[in-house]
Structure 1
Amino acid sequence: MVAIRRLVVSPPLINSSSPSASEPNQLLELFESPHTGAVTTRTATLTGFSETSEHTVVFTNNSISSVNTYGYSPHPLSAYIGYVDAILSSAPEHSIKPFIISITSSSPISLASMLDAIQELRAKFHDTEGATSRIGIELNTSCPNIKGSPPPAYNISGLVPILDALAECFWKDPTLTIGLKLPPYVYSTQFDDLVGCIATYSRPDPSDDSRRLNPFAFFTSTNTLGQTLLFAEQAAPAPLSVVADSDGGAAPAVFALPTGLGGMAGEALHPLALGNVYTLRRLLDAHTDTSLCDIWIVGVGGVTTREAHARMRKAGAAVVACATVLLREGVSVFEKLSIPSDGGD
């Protein structure tokens, strides 16, 4: 069991935001599994993302790895609020299993509207009362597949206005548990810039001014790695997609995805994901602002076996998540990934 602020995650094994958590039946199946400690929804925008046949995924033929061109959910945030409302309303009376509603926006005004809607849902369930909450928020700062909109966590100055909106909401209601889904970082300054930025949001705890509090409770690390390419013969089964060149003709190579490039996930990403989790945990623990020690890490990237789960925990993740293997094998995979001692109580 792990308590991320007011969210009790037991066991500390969950899904990460992905198309496997897009539809209400998928969310219900994840919620009802005894091997998941929380459920993360697919990332929603305020009005929904325009998804086409170009948004898809392929798996490699030599490992449990994938490359995808997915963007965000085609369903608006209002749909996920309805799905979560229905599932929690029908949950067993004493259930404290939480939902993490994944959202994104490049507009602070739009984001504030989304936060208000989630807070209304929390109010319905009296989520600010007692010691635990059943609804938290994860801001996706890291999708590499949105044309003309790079992941904001790669550009700290562009990320700040969005963090400001989240922090403002938190300080109005410190019972709200907020996390950030991060992209894979590949050099030290990226980590330093992020952690330094997050530290600026710490303040004295309103309930105990002898300690400091940061509005961000967890980091989910890491999302997919963009600009990766698979040829058709590397995919299983090999698709027959071609990519048009700049003149509108067929490109000289046959690629696995309709658009050629996409975001890599699964086992191929695992070493980089471990390095990101390890580095973030060390920086948070070593920071002079001790409130950063209280930020948990949800480790994701190539968790396809129980051994990979254990490695992610050793690297510094308090909670471990998966997406690629869930998409490939379904919710039953969580039993295979579970570490027996994490059964919870």
Structure 2
Amino acid sequence: MAPKLKIDPPLLNSACPWSTTLEDIKALYDSPHTGAVTIRTSLLEGFSHDDSIHQYLFFTPGKTIPSKPPKGEDSKPTSKSAPSEPISTLNTLGYSPLTLSEYLGIINEIVGQRHLGTDTPTKKPFILSVAGTPDEIAMAYALIANAAEMDEDLRLAMEVNLSCPNLKDAPPPAYDPAQLAEYMEAISDSKSTYRGRMAGPESVPKVGIKLPPYTYVSQFENVVAAMRKAVSTEPGEGCVLDFITCTNTLGSSLLLDSDLNPVLNSEAGTGIGGLAGAALHPLALGNVATFRRLLDQHDETTGVAIIGVGGVEDKAGFERMRKVGAQAVACASALGRYGVAVFERITKGD
């Protein structure tokens, strides 16, 4: 079965703080080195972001963090940092303060400029990362599908974030097989509803799920089993998912400063958050490799693409991800560290 998702070149950003604003998204869209743009995870009604609670930090694994270090953009390594120095991030972020509808408006504005002949002439896919209950995900798909139906210039996909580790009393649904099944059912129903209304199969917005890092085989097998049960009613199409994104940040991670206090604040007040960047890379590679092997064992799932994420910031990291089965490779921490220029850096091997 041929892969269901086409991203060319196979390089993009993952949902992150650096894909939040119109300026962020337009810069990613205009880069000739990105094959798609992923929007920061949004909710139908927006998220109450609070800078005093929802934070992030760049750091070098194995090095002591000074007392009261700069956070957010102020924590980004300077140009004096050694280029080969491995950089990771820890974050206690939630979702975007902008709503899904606001992001659809931003996309319309960016793509609309194409008609004026002023910007990127190619049609590049936008992946809208969303979160919420299964019913809210169904509503989100309806908004995205309606937007795609109204403007044939929009190439839209939906990524359901089932893996944010930072929300108090809201553990990632992707760790729970019962919850995962509920989301798969909502996705299946949504795609079935809109299939008959769209111009053709290719115009139906693609759907994927963003998964957390898994650490033992039964976790991977539970996900693949849920995917095998969620089969499209369309003959020969297989699983209703077009792609999976793995991995999100590794939760339950903590940094202490030189005074042995938590470096970041968090909703729970513990400073525990999600780990990303260089420290996550080996686990991310293992997740991509394991999922590719398991997905390829079954006719229903062999066509599901994988977007590999985790610690890629150069051409070698990109090639490692591709080698283990990622159809496309995405960056977050490296985007925050280097800006949009990181995609040229990866492409050319600088």
Coarse TM-score class (shorter-chain normalised): 0.7 to 0.9
2:19 to 18, 21, 26: 21
Check the 8 A contact 1:64/1:304 in 2, yes or no. Answer: no
Compute the displacement of 1:99 (Å).
0.4
1:295 to 295, 304, 317: 304
Q: In 2, Cα distance between the equivalents of 1:275 and 1:296?
A: 16
Once the two structures are superposed, residues 42-70 of structure 1 have per-residue CA deviations (whole angstroms, 9 ceiling, x without a partner) of 00011011111211111113521010001
2:171 to 111, 129, 150: 150
Compute the displacement of 1:212 (Å).
4.2
Query: Per the alignment, in what secondary structure is the counterpart of residue 50 of structure 2?
Result: coil
**CA root-mean-square deviation:** 1.8
Q: In 2, Cα distance between the equivalents of 1:170 and 1:339?
A: 38
Q: Which amino acid in structure 2 is aligned with residue 141 of structure 1? A: L
Tell me if 1:228 matches 2:243: no
Q: 1:203 to 1:135 in 2, by over 3 A?
A: closer
Compute the displacement of 1:96 (Å).
2.0
Q: In 1, Cα distance between the equivalents of 2:252 and 2:45?
A: 27
Tell me if 1:261 matches 2:287: no
TM-score by length of 2: 0.84
1:201 to 224, 230, 238: 230
Q: Which amino acid in structure 1 is aligned with residue 307 of structure 2? A: V
More divergent stretch after superposition (33-42 vs 169-178): 169-178
Q: Which amino acid in structure 2 is aligned with residue 119 of structure 1? A: A
More divergent stretch after superposition (166-175 vs 265-274): 166-175
| 1:74-223 correspondence runs (5 A) | 74-91=97-114, 95-106=122-133, 108-126=134-152, 134-172=155-193, 173=195, 174=201, 175-203=204-232, 205=234, 209=235, 211-223=236-248
The aligned counterpart of 1:46 is: 44
The aligned counterpart of 1:243 is: none
Compute the displacement of 1:213 (Å).
2.3
Compute the displacement of 1:333 (Å).
0.8
The aligned counterpart of 1:33 is: 31
2:287 to 272, 276, 281: 276
Q: Which amino acid in structure 1 is aligned with residue 335 of structure 2? A: L
Q: In 2, Cα distance between the equivalents of 1:9 and 1:227?
A: 32
Check the 8 A contact 1:171/1:215 in 2, yes or no. Answer: no
Compute the displacement of 1:337 (Å).
1.0
Compute the displacement of 1:230 (Å).
1.0
Check the 8 A contact 2:231/2:239 in 1, yes or no. Answer: yes
Structure 2: runs of 5 or more not aligned: 62-85, 196-200
Q: Which amino acid in structure 2 is aligned with residue 166 of structure 1? A: I
Q: In 1, Cα distance between the equivalents of 2:237 and 2:124?
A: 28
Query: Per the alignment, in what secondary structure is the counterpart of residue 291 of structure 1?
Result: coil
Compute the displacement of 1:306 (Å).
1.1
Q: Which amino acid in structure 1 is aligned with residue 309 of structure 2? A: V
Tell me if 1:10 matches 2:36: no
Compute the displacement of 1:223 (Å).
0.1
Check the 8 A contact 2:281/2:311 in 1, yes or no. Answer: yes
Q: 1:339 to 1:201 in 2, by over 3 A?
A: farther
Tell me if 1:68 matches 2:91: yes
Once the two structures are superposed, residues 244-273 of structure 1 have per-residue CA deviations (whole angstroms, 9 ceiling, x without a partner) of xxxxxxxx8322212321100000000000
Q: Which amino acid in structure 1 is aligned with residue 303 of structure 2? A: D
Query: Per the alignment, in what secondary structure is the counterpart of residue 260 of structure 2?
Result: strand
Tell me if 1:56 matches 2:58: no
Corresponding pairs, count: 307
Task: Give the percent of matched residue pairs that are identical in Structure 1 and Structure 2.
Answer: 42
Q: In 2, Cα distance between the equivalents of 1:4 and 1:42?
A: 24
Compute the displacement of 1:204 (Å).
5.0
Q: In 2, Cα distance between the equivalents of 1:8 and 1:196?
A: 24
Which structure dedicates a bigger proportion of its chain to strand? 1
Compute the displacement of 1:214 (Å).
1.7
Check the 8 A contact 2:184/2:226 in 1, yes or no. Answer: no
Check the 8 A contact 2:155/2:205 in 1, yes or no. Answer: no
Compute the displacement of 1:4 (Å).
5.5
Query: Per the alignment, in what secondary structure is the counterpart of residue 184 of structure 1?
Result: coil
Q: Which amino acid in structure 1 is aligned with residue 170 of structure 2? A: S
Structure 1: runs of 5 or more not aligned: 128-132, 234-251, 341-345
Compute the displacement of 1:114 (Å).
1.6
Once the two structures are superposed, residues 128-154 of structure 1 have per-residue CA deviations (whole angstroms, 9 ceiling, x without a partner) of xxxxx6111110010000111000000
The aligned counterpart of 2:317 is: 308
More divergent stretch after superposition (319-328 vs 254-263): 254-263
Q: 1:181 to 1:101 in 2, by over 3 A?
A: same
Q: In 2, Cα distance between the equivalents of 1:332 and 1:4?
A: 28
Q: Which amino acid in structure 1 is aligned with residue 320 of structure 2? A: R
Query: Per the alignment, in what secondary structure is the counterpart of residue 96 of structure 1?
Result: coil
